[in-house]
C-alpha cells in the first residue's frame, strides 16, 4: 500500500469507528456486528503500526494514551465552575420560581428539569474538533488535569464529527453505572481487595489514578449537563439548544429531561423524576431546575457561589435510624481486616438490615462510628447498607471508640498496613480464618468446584489441623479423616472423590483458586489463554504478564510476588507433585483449549437473577459453546439469561429489546 493510500484508509477507518461508536454508545443502535467492528479496529491498529507517521493521538485506538503520570497538573478553568443552591422542600421551589417570574417581569417562564447526577463534576474542552483537556472542578477556579483518565471513557469521542461545532467547553458528571459498580465491587472482594463505599467514591478514586490503564479497566461513563466557554462557531440561545449541540456532536446527555413553562408542570416533573430515577443506571439524589433561555440566565447572574437561574431539589434518601450494637472485625482470604457494624435490626426499603460494612479503618475514623452510637443507615448502591451519619448529639458518653486491632483477632499475629490499599492485613499465612476462607475459595464453584468440601468440612479440617494450606487437601486419606466427628464414611468418600476430581479441572480454575491477591477469575482465564500453561505463566517476566488483557501492573506484580515468595513457590511445587495441571500438555490444560461447540458463536450474554446453579456454571457453558459473557446489559448484548428475581438488568434488556431467556429456554437453545 502506498503511504497516500494508507493515510486515506486510516482516516476512513477512524471516521467509521467514530460513527459506529456513536451508534453504539449514544443511540444504542449498532449497525454492525461486534466482529466487524473489531476487524475495523484491528485493521486500523495494523495500518498505524505500518505507517506510524499517520498515527494521531486522537485516533480511536489511542484511548489509553500515555504513560503513568507523576502527578496531576493544576489547570485554570476557562470559566468558573459553580455549585448549586439546594433545597428539600417544594415550597422553596415555588418561592424560587415565583421570584424568577417577578424579577424577570414575566407570567410564564420555560424551565428545564433533569436529574442531579451523583458523580464527579468535570469540565471537558474540545478545540478544533479534538478533545483537548478534561479537568476536575477543584475549587471552582482551577482543578486537576485528568485528560488521560477521561479519554478512557468509551462513549466520549476523542474527535468530533465534521458537521458539528468544533470548539467549546462542556460541564458534566463522570459516574460509574450501578451494575458496573456492583460487578467491580464483587470482583474486588473476591480478589481480596477493599470494596468501594459507593459508585461516587469509586469514580473519584478512579479519576485520581495516575495510571490511565487503571481507569481503562473501570466502568466509567460521562453525561453532560451544561456549557462553559463557547467558540465562535457555536451559538446557544437555550439549554434546549445545548442538548441539540450534544446530539450533533455525538456527546451524551441524560435520558430524562422535562421542559415546562409553569409551576405545576415544574413540581409535576420533580415528582415524576422521583418515580423514575431508580431505573437510571446512575445514582441521583435530586432534580436540577434551570431557566431554559440563556439570555435570561445571563440577566439573572450568580451569587458568589451559585447561579440564580438554577436550583437543586434534593430527594429524601431511603434511610433509617438504628443503633450500632458492636463493631466486629472480619479476616478475609488475603488477610484484610474489615470492620463490620452489627446493628439493631431495622427496616429499610423493603428489607431488614442488621449489618453494615464500615469498609476500612479510614472510613470508621472519618465518621467516628462507635459501638453504642445511634446512626442513620442508608441503602447505598442498592444492596450493601452503609452508615451515613452518626448522631453525635445522642451520645451518652459510654460509647466505645473504634480501634483497629494491632494483632489479628483470630490468630493474634501482629497486623501489617498496606499503605496503597488503605488496608490492614494479618500476615500469618497459617491464620485459621485466612486458611478457612482460602480453602473455601479454592473449593468454591467458581474456582475448583470441589464437591463435598463445603464450609462445614473446611471448618472441621482446619480446626483439626488437617489442613493449613491448600496442598494439604491432597494429602488427606480415609484414615486421617476417620477421626473427625460427624464425618461418616459416605462423606469421607465424597470428599476424597471430589478432591481427586479437582486435579482434572482446567488450570485457570486452579490459578484463580489459589487466591493470589488481585488475581480474579477473568484475569486467570486470560493468563491461561495467553500462556497456555501454569509453567509458562510462572516463567513470564513482569512485562510479559502485563501485556495480557485484563492484567495490569498490579496483577502482574502480585503474581510475581507470589511466585517468588517461598510460601507461594513451595505451595506450587507441592501442588505440582500432587498432580495438578502445570505443564502445557496436561489433560486439564487441554480442557481449556477452546469451545466444545460453536452453537453460541458470535453471541454475547449477560446472566442475572437466581438460577438453579451458580451463574459461573452457566457462564462456563456459554463459553464452551463459543459465546461471550459480560457483566452488564448493553446494545451489544444478544441474550439475557434471567433467573428468579431478575432486577434492573431485566428492565434494561426490555428497554433495549434484548431477548430474555429463562433457564429452560437457554438449555433448549444449547440443545438446538
- Cα dihedral across residues 140, 143, 148, 152: positive or negative: negative
Nearer residue to ligand IVH within complex by CB, 192 or 199: 199
Minimum Å gap between C-beta 265 and ligand IVH is: 18
**144 sits near ligand IVH (criterion: CB under 6 A):** no
Q: Which residue in 102, 107, 108, 116 is the catalytic one?
A: 116
Nearer residue to ligand IVH within complex by CB, 117 or 650: 117
Q: CA dihedral defined by 631, 637, 643, 645, rounded to 10 degrees?
A: 70
- DSSP class per residue in 136-167: E-TTSSEEEB-HHHHTT-TTS-SB--TTS---
Provide the b/e sequence for 414-445 (b: ≥16 CB within 10 Å).
ebeebeebebbbbebbebbbbbbbbbbbbbbe
Residue number of the CB atom closest to ligand IVH? 121
Minimum Å gap between C-beta 114 and ligand IVH is: 5
The residues facing 126 across adjacent strands are 131, 168
Distance CA 21, CA 135 (A): 23
Q: CB 237: neighbour CB atoms within 10 A?
A: 11
Minimum Å gap between C-beta 160 and ligand IVH is: 22
Question: In the structure grid, which three cell numbers stand for residue 86, read together?
Answer: 439546594
Question: Which member of 20, 22, 77, 116 binds ligand IVH (CB under 6 A)?
Answer: 116
160 within 8 A of 226, measured Cβ to Cβ: no
Nearer residue to ligand IVH within complex by CB, 24 or 309: 309
**281 sits near ligand IVH (criterion: CB under 6 A):** no
Minimum Å gap between C-beta 308 and ligand IVH is: 10
Minimum Å gap between C-beta 269 and ligand IVH is: 13
Minimum Å gap between C-beta 33 and ligand IVH is: 35
DSSP classification of residue 26: I
The residues facing 377 across adjacent strands are 320, 387
Minimum Å gap between C-beta 81 and ligand IVH is: 6
Nearer residue to ligand IVH within complex by CB, 129 or 307: 307
Among 99, 192, 274, 132, smallest CA distance to 518 is for: 192
Question: Which member of 20, 75, 97, 114 binds ligand IVH (CB under 6 A)?
Answer: 114
- List C-alpha distances in Å: 442 to 5, 571, 604, 659: 54, 14, 28, 35
The footprint of ligand IVH on residues 568-597 (CB under 6 A) is none
Minimum Å gap between C-beta 277 and ligand IVH is: 12
Nearer residue to ligand IVH within complex by CB, 120 or 641: 120
Distance CA 237, CA 292 (A): 9
**307 sits near ligand IVH (criterion: CB under 6 A):** yes
**470 sits near ligand IVH (criterion: CB under 6 A):** no
Nearer residue to ligand IVH within complex by CB, 119 or 506: 119
Question: Which member of 117, 160, 164, 622 binds ligand IVH (CB under 6 A)?
Answer: 117
- List C-alpha distances in Å: 558 to 337, 541, 546, 562: 19, 12, 11, 6
**311 sits near ligand IVH (criterion: CB under 6 A):** no
Nearer residue to ligand IVH within complex by CB, 175 or 442: 175
The footprint of ligand IVH on residues 314-353 (CB under 6 A) is none
Distance CA 220, CA 498 (A): 41
Question: Which member of 225, 425, 436, 438 binds ligand IVH (CB under 6 A)?
Answer: 225
Long-range contacts of the stretch 199-205 (C-beta < 8 A, 24+) = 199/118, 199/119, 199/175, 199/282, 199/283, 199/381, 200/118, 200/119, 200/120, 200/175, 200/176, 200/283, 202/176, 203/119, 203/120, 203/174, 203/175, 203/176, 204/120
Distance CA 148, CA 631 (A): 25
The footprint of ligand IVH on residues 163-202 (CB under 6 A) is 173
119 within 8 A of 173, measured Cβ to Cβ: yes
- DSSP class per residue in 482-542: HTSTT--HHHHHHHHHHHHHHTTS-HHHHHHHTT-TT--HHHHHHHHHHHSSHHHHHH--H
**226 sits near ligand IVH (criterion: CB under 6 A):** yes
The residues facing 386 across adjacent strands are 378
Nearer residue to ligand IVH within complex by CB, 226 or 595: 226
400 in active site: no
Nearer residue to ligand IVH within complex by CB, 110 or 506: 110
**310 sits near ligand IVH (criterion: CB under 6 A):** yes
Residues 6+ apart with CB under 8 A from 541: none
Minimum Å gap between C-beta 540 and ligand IVH is: 44
Distance CA 534, CA 589 (A): 9
Q: What angle in degrees, to the nearest 10, is found between the helix axes of 566-577 and 553-564?
A: 70
**Of the ranges 114-122, 317-325, 421-429, 663-671, which one interacts with ligand IVH (CB under 6 A)?**
114-122
Q: CB 671: neighbour CB atoms within 10 A?
A: 7
Minimum Å gap between C-beta 238 and ligand IVH is: 14
Distance CA 310, CA 615 (A): 46
The footprint of ligand IVH on residues 287-306 (CB under 6 A) is 288, 306
Site string for ligand IVH, 533-572 (x = CB under 6 A): ----------------------------------------
Place of cell 495494523: 46
Minimum Å gap between C-beta 123 and ligand IVH is: 10
**Of the ranges 116-124, 197-205, 452-460, 619-627, which one interacts with ligand IVH (CB under 6 A)?**
116-124
**Of the ranges 113-121, 256-264, 606-614, 654-662, which one interacts with ligand IVH (CB under 6 A)?**
113-121
Distance CA 401, CA 404 (A): 10
Distance CA 492, CA 522 (A): 32
The footprint of ligand IVH on residues 73-92 (CB under 6 A) is 82-84
Nearer residue to ligand IVH within complex by CB, 291 or 423: 291
Size of the site for ligand IVH (CB under 6 A): 15
The footprint of ligand IVH on residues 383-442 (CB under 6 A) is none
DSSP classification of residue 399: P
Nearer residue to ligand IVH within complex by CB, 380 or 572: 380
**Of the ranges 115-123, 175-183, 515-523, 590-598, which one interacts with ligand IVH (CB under 6 A)?**
115-123
- What residue ranges bind ligand IVH (CB under 6 A)? 82-84, 114, 116-117, 121, 173, 225-226, 288, 306-307, 310, 312
Catalytic residues: 116
Amino acid at each position: 500500500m502506498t503511504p497516500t493510500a494508507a493515510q486515506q484508509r486510516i482516516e476512513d477507518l477512524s471516521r467509521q469507528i467514530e460513527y459506529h461508536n456513536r451508534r453504539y454508545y449514544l443511540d444504542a443502535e449498532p449497525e454492525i456486528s461486534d466482529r466487524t467492528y473489531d476487524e475495523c479496529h484491528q485493521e486500523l491498529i495494523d495500518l498505524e503500526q505500518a505507517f506510524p507517521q499517520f498515527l494521531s493521538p486522537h485516533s480511536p485506538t489511542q484511548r489509553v494514551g500515555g504513560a503513568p503520570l507523576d502527578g496531576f497538573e493544576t489547570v485554570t478553568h476557562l470559566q468558573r465552575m459553580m455549585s448549586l443552591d439546594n433545597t428539600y422542600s417544594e415550597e422553596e421551589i415555588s418561592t424560587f420560581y415565583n421570584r424568577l417570574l417577578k424579577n424577570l417581569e414575566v407570567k410564564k417562564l420555560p424551565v428545564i428539569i433533569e436529574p442531579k447526577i451523583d458523580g464527579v463534576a468535570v469540565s471537558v474542552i474540545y478545540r478544533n474538533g479534538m478533545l483537548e483537556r478534561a479537568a476536575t472542578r477543584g475549587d471552582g477556579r482551577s482543578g486537576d488535569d485528568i485528560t488521560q483518565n477521561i479519554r478512557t471513557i468509551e462513549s466520549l469521542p476523542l474527535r468530533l464529527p465534521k458537521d458539528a461545532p468544533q470548539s467549546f467547553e462542556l460541564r458534566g458528571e463522570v459516574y460509574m453505572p450501578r451494575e458496573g459498580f456492583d460487578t467491580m465491587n464483587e470482583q474486588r472482594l473476591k480478589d481480596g481487595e477493599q470494596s468501594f463505599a459507593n459508585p461516587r467514591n469509586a469514580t473519584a478514586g478512579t479519576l485520581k489514578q495516575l495510571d490511565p490503564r487503571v481507569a481503562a479497566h473501570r466502568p466509567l461513563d460521562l453525561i453532560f449537563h451544561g456549557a462553559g466557554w463557547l467558540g465562535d462557531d457555536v451559538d446557544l440561545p437555550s439549554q434546549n439548544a445545548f442538548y441539540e449541540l450534544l446530539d450533533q456532536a455525538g456527546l451524551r446527555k441524560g435520558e430524562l429531561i422535562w421542559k415546562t413553562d409553569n409551576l405545576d408542570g415544574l413540581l409535576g416533573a420533580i415528582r415524576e423524576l422521583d418515580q423514575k430515577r431508580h431505573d437510571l443506571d446512575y445514582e441521583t439524589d435530586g432534580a436540577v431546575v434551570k431557566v431554559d433561555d440563556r439570555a435570561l440566565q445571563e440577566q439573572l447572574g450568580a451569587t458568589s457561589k451559585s447561579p440564580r437561574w438554577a436550583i437543586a431539589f434534593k430527594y429524601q434518601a431511603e434511610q433509617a435510624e438504628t443503633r450500632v450494637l458492636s463493631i466486629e472485625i472480619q479476616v478475609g482470604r488475603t488477610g484484610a481486616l474489615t470492620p463490620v457494624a452489627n446493628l439493631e435490626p431495622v427496616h429499610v426499603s423493603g428489607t431488614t438490615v442488621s449489618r453494615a460494612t464500615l469498609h476500612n479503618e479510614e472510613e470508621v475514623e472519618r465518621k467516628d462510628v462507635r459501638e453504642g452510637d445511634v446512626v442513620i443507615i442508608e441503602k447505598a448502591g442498592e444492596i450493601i447498607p452503609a452508615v451515613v451519619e452518626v448522631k453525635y448529639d445522642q451520645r451518652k458518653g459510654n460509647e466505645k471508640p473504634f480501634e483497629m486491632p494491632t494483632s489479628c483477632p483470630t490468630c493474634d499475629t501482629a497486623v501489617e498496613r498496606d499503605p496503597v490499599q488503605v488496608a490492614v492485613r494479618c500476615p500469618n499465612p497459617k491464620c485459621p480464618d485466612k486458611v478457612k476462607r482460602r480453602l473455601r475459595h479454592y473449593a468454591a464453584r467458581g474456582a475448583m468446584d470441589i464437591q463435598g468440601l463445603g464450609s462445614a468440612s473446611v471448618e472441621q479440617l482446619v480446626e483439626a489441623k488437617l489442613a493449613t494450606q491448600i496442598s494439604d487437601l491432597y494429602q488427606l486419606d480415609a484414615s486421617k479423616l476417620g477421626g473427625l466427628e460427624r464425618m461418616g464414611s459416605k462423606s469421607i468418600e465424597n470428599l476424597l472423590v471430589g478432591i481427586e476430581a479437582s486435579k482434572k479441572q482446567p488450570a485457570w480454575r486452579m490459578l484463580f483458586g489459589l487466591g493470589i491477591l488481585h488475581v480474579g477469575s477473568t484475569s486467570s482465564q486470560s493468563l491461561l489463554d495467553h500462556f497456555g500453561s501454569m509453567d509458562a505463566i510462572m516463567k513470564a517476566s513482569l512485562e510479559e504478564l502485563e501485556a495480557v488483557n485484563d492484567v495490569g501492573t498490579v496483577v502482574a506484580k502480585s503474581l510475581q510476588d507470589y511466585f517468588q515468595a517461598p510460601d507461594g513457590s513451595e505451595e506450587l511445587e507441592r501442588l505440582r507433585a500432587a498432580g495438578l495441571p502445570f505443564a502445557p500438555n496436561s489433560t486439564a490444560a487441554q480442557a481449556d483449549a477452546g469451545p466444545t461447540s460453536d452453537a453460541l458463536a458470535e453471541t454475547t450474554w449477560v446472566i442475572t437473577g437466581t438460577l438453579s446453579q451458580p451463574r459461573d456454571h452457566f457462564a462456563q457453558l456459554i463459553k464452551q459453546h463459543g459465546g461471550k459473557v459480560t457483566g452488564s446489559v448493553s446494545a451489544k448484548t444478544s441474550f439475557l439469561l434471567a433467573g428468579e428475581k431478575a432486577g434492573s438488568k431485566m428492565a434494561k434488556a426490555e428497554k433495549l429489546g434484548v431477548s430474555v431467556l429463562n433457564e429452560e429456554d437457554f438449555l433448549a437453545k444449547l440443545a438446538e
